[in-house]
Chains A and B, each alone.
Chain A
Amino acid sequence: MPTKRHLTTTVPLALSIVLVPLTIAMAFWWTGEDVDQGLSQKIFYFHVPIALTSYIAFAFGAFSAAMYLWKRTEAWDLRSYVGVHSGTIFGTLVLITGPLWAKASWGVWWNWGDRQLNVFLILFLYYCAYFMLRFSLDEGERRRSASAIFALLGVGLIPMSFLAVRVAQTLIHPTVFTSSGAAMPGSFLLTFLVGMAGMLSLMVLLISVELRGKRTAARVLQLQRSARGEDA
């Protein structure tokens, strides 16, 4: 039993230790400089994987929320919370790296015409509200269902935000500009994939460490209660 639990942390830990530094090395020493953007393009290998990882973490949170509403076990509630939590952590990184890249390549910190950026901001605000909701309700069945429903609503909000920004853009910017016009060279793609794998293993690591911490805390609380003679 302990070996299986350890596997969920040691494997992603080992992968992150290898893959994240490898991404840095590949980005700076192996891939050539982008003709168009030069050095600032290197942030692509971090920013885009972090953003995708953040979406995946939110999706995991929403999936676990649906599972909670179906199965009604605390484990799924905890998974949903931890998924949203790590999504928010990666989301914060996206909101730091995004403006950095925007400043370097467009000359502005925030481009209100960019679709990805604005959708991400809506989503980030939304999932920040998740924590406010969760922690202003008393622990129990009601808090778990309310959190789960709210996390699930995000599934509707993500496509709706994309569509809304797209509909609005037909009026603001008649010409839709694509960020990556030319096909990526092989070395760029490979570095991106390594970066993606690194961020994903980092996410799995964060989720499994936090889950273990929460589970241990719950178990300690339960033991304390039964030691005091209260009902376990």
Chain B
Amino acid sequence: MIGAALTIARVKFVLEIRRREVIFAMLLFLAATIVIVRVALSGDTGAGTRAAAGMLWAAVVFTAVLGLLRTFAAEHEGGVIDALLLAPIDRASIWLGTALAQFGFLTAIELVAVPVWWALFFQGGGPSVGTVVVALLLANVGIALVGTLSAALALGARTRDVLLPVLVLPLLLPVVLGGVTATYGAFGEEVGGLRPLGFLALYDLVFLALAWGTSEHLLGD
């Protein structure tokens, strides 16, 4: 089952490297959002670190939604999804493979965009790097799990493009809260840096369990 999921994720990566449909759009979107917010806040010196932490997490979640809009799209348009459903593999592995690819895309983009965020907002004395990296990785897992699940639910809906953000954003609100708290806590003067990280890990586990439990019914017939 894990093998099938890895294969699906690999196919998605190969397709993405050839077509360059999703990653570049996501990267540009994230970078543009960061720059726009930095420019919008430029006169306000009081906004400071909390605004920086908040905008990073809002931008990450919106970028993830942008990428999710293309999840399953290729399969749906080409009718590949039917073939995948007929294949003698566990349904959970289709979902898990797609989530893995989504996690990879998000992480790849953040590798480029987060340093930009760092450079634009902090000339010296930013938050502790380790905490922010761990928080982002944990959040990427949750975003990929919940996002892929919602994308599968919205599959075949008439208004899929409008529907998906509406489904995903309330579900991801706890991730944003946890992420902002972790980032803000990583500035040093505040305590409790580990609790939000633990929370993000717990979020991943809870939704992994829920998605796993319902995956058999997920992609429909």
Which residues of A line the B interface, CB within 8 A? 69, 122-123, 125-126, 128-129, 132-133, 136-138, 141-142, 145-146, 148-150, 152-153, 155-157, 159-161, 163-165, 167-168, 170-171
B158: Cβ under 8 A from any A Cβ = yes
Question: Assuming A137-B156, A146-B153, is B190 touching A171 (CB within 8 A)?
Answer: yes
B74: Cβ under 8 A from any A Cβ = no
B196: Cβ under 8 A from any A Cβ = yes
Instruction: Provide the bound-state CA to CA distance between A123 and B174, in Å.
Output: 11
Which residues of B line the A interface, CB within 8 A? 149, 153-154, 156-160, 163, 166-167, 169-171, 173-175, 177-178, 180-181, 184-185, 190, 192, 195-196, 199, 202-203, 206-207, 209-210, 214, 217-218, 220-221
Question: Assuming A129-B170, A137-B156, A153-B210, is B181 touching A168 (CB within 8 A)?
Answer: yes
Given A138-B158, A142-B221, 4 other A-B contacts at CB below 8 A?
A: A126-B171, A129-B163, A148-B217, A168-B181
Please state if B149 and A153 are interface contacts (CB–CB under 8 Å). Answer: yes
CB distance from B216 to the nearest CB of A (A): 9
CB distance from A72 to the nearest CB of B (A): 9
Max chain B CB contacts within 10 Å: which of A148, A161, A163? A163
Question: Which residues of chain A are near B210, meaning CB under 8 Å?
Answer: 152-153, 155-156
- The 3 A-B residue pairs whose C-beta atoms are closest, nearest first, are A164-B174, A126-B170, A142-B220
User: Considering only CB atoms, which chain A residue lies closest to B160 in the complex?
Assistant: A136
Instruction: Provide the bound-state CA to CA distance between A138 and B160, in Å.
Output: 12
Number of inter-chain CB pairs below 8 Å: 107
Please state if B214 and A149 are interface contacts (CB–CB under 8 Å). Answer: yes
Please state if B174 and A150 are interface contacts (CB–CB under 8 Å). Answer: no
User: Considering only CB atoms, which chain A residue lies closest to B199 in the complex?
Assistant: A167
CB distance from B153 to the nearest CB of A (A): 5
Question: Which residues of chain A are near B181, meaning CB under 8 Å?
Answer: 167-168, 170-171
Please state if B177 and A167 are interface contacts (CB–CB under 8 Å). Answer: yes
What would 18 A/B residue contacts be, using CB atoms closer than 8 Å? Answer: A122-B170, A132-B163, A133-B153, A133-B163, A136-B158, A141-B220, A145-B217, A148-B217, A160-B174, A160-B206, A161-B174, A167-B177, A167-B192, A168-B178, A168-B180, A171-B181, A171-B184, A171-B190
Instruction: Provide the bound-state CA to CA distance between A138 and B175, in Å.
Output: 31
Instruction: Provide the bound-state CA to CA distance between A128 and B165, in Å.
Output: 13
Question: Which residues of chain B are near A123, meaning CB under 8 Å?
Answer: 170
Please state if A149 and B192 are interface contacts (CB–CB under 8 Å). Answer: no
Max chain B CB contacts within 10 Å: which of A138, A155, A164? A164
Question: Which residues of chain B are near A167, meaning CB under 8 Å?
Answer: 177-178, 181, 192, 195-196, 199
Please state if A168 and B171 are interface contacts (CB–CB under 8 Å). Answer: no
Instruction: Provide the bound-state CA to CA distance between A164 and B135, in Å.
Output: 14
Question: Which residues of chain B are near A164, meaning CB under 8 Å?
Answer: 173-175, 177-178, 199, 203
Please state if B171 and A153 are interface contacts (CB–CB under 8 Å). Answer: yes
CB distance from A92 to the nearest CB of B (A): 16
Instruction: Provide the bound-state CA to CA distance between A128 and B178, in Å.
Output: 23
Instruction: Provide the bound-state CA to CA distance between A171 and B190, in Å.
Output: 7
Instruction: Provide the bound-state CA to CA distance between A13 and B149, in Å.
Output: 40
Please state if B173 and A132 are interface contacts (CB–CB under 8 Å). Answer: no
Please state if A136 and B199 are interface contacts (CB–CB under 8 Å). Answer: no
Please state if B153 and A150 are interface contacts (CB–CB under 8 Å). Answer: yes
Question: Which residues of chain A are near B153, meaning CB under 8 Å?
Answer: 133, 146, 149-150
Please state if B203 and A149 are interface contacts (CB–CB under 8 Å). Answer: no
Question: Which residues of chain B are near A129, meaning CB under 8 Å?
Answer: 163, 166-167, 170
Instruction: Provide the bound-state CA to CA distance between A64 and B209, in Å.
Output: 19
CB distance from B169 to the nearest CB of A (A): 8
CB distance from B64 to the nearest CB of A (A): 16
Please state if B177 and A165 are interface contacts (CB–CB under 8 Å). Answer: yes
Please state if A136 and B178 are interface contacts (CB–CB under 8 Å). Answer: no
Instruction: Provide the bound-state CA to CA distance between A133 and B199, in Å.
Output: 28
Question: Which residues of chain A are near B217, meaning CB under 8 Å?
Answer: 69, 145, 148-149
Max chain A CB contacts within 10 Å: which of B163, B177, B190? B177
Question: Which residues of chain A are near B209, meaning CB under 8 Å?
Answer: 156
User: Considering only CB atoms, which chain B residue lies closest to A163 in the complex?
Assistant: B199
CB distance from B191 to the nearest CB of A (A): 8
Instruction: Provide the bound-state CA to CA distance between A156 and B174, in Å.
Output: 11
